[in-house]
């Protein structure tokens, strides 16, 4: 899924569980991968209280103007939407590309 900063991201989430959960949470967040420690920032979240064992719900998030998603030689910043079932620890994630013109910024090496 590709989006520009400031866009609205909408979707539907479906779950089918063995037990009735206390809640389901959908999160918009970014995280880093690569060299060094990982950073994670939850930008927005929606909590569905008292969900059924099997259900479909809609969600909407407004993307912030920054940071852009990027891939570099040493580190990358990635965006994702994640569905979390806190009672069980189950998660599912869909990655987003968030950048100018719906494109990821690609950083190259700077050879001297």
At 36-50, the pLDDT tens digits run 889 999 999 999 999
With contact defined as beta carbons under 8 Å apart, do 59 and 108 qualify?
A: no
With contact defined as beta carbons under 8 Å apart, do 69 and 30 qualify?
A: yes
pTM: 0.86
H/E segment holding residue 93:
strand 90-98
Read off the CATH number of the domain in which 34 is found: 2.60.40.640
Q: What is the CA radius of gyration of the chain?
A: 16
Is there a domain that residue 112 lies in?
A: no
- Domain total for the chain? 1
**Per-residue pLDDT reduced to its tens digit, 58-99:** 999 999 989 989 988 889 999 999 999 999 999 999 999 888
Is there a domain that residue 82 lies in?
A: yes
pLDDT of 19 above 70? yes
């Amino acid at each position: 899924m590709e989006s520009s900063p400031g866009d609205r991201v909408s979707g539907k989430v479906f779950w089918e569980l063995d037990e009735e959960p206390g809640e389901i949470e959908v999160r918009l967040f970014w995280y880093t991968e690569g060299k060094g420690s990982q950073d994670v920032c939850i930008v927005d979240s929606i909590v569905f209280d008292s969900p059924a064992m099997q259900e479909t719900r809609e969600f909407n998030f407004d993307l912030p103007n920054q940071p852009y998603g990027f891939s570099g030689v040493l580190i990358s910043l990635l965006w994702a939407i994640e569905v979390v079932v806190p009672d069980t620890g189950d998660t599912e994630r869909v990655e987003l590309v968030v950048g100018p013109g719906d494109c990821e910024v690609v950083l190259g090496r700077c050879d001297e």
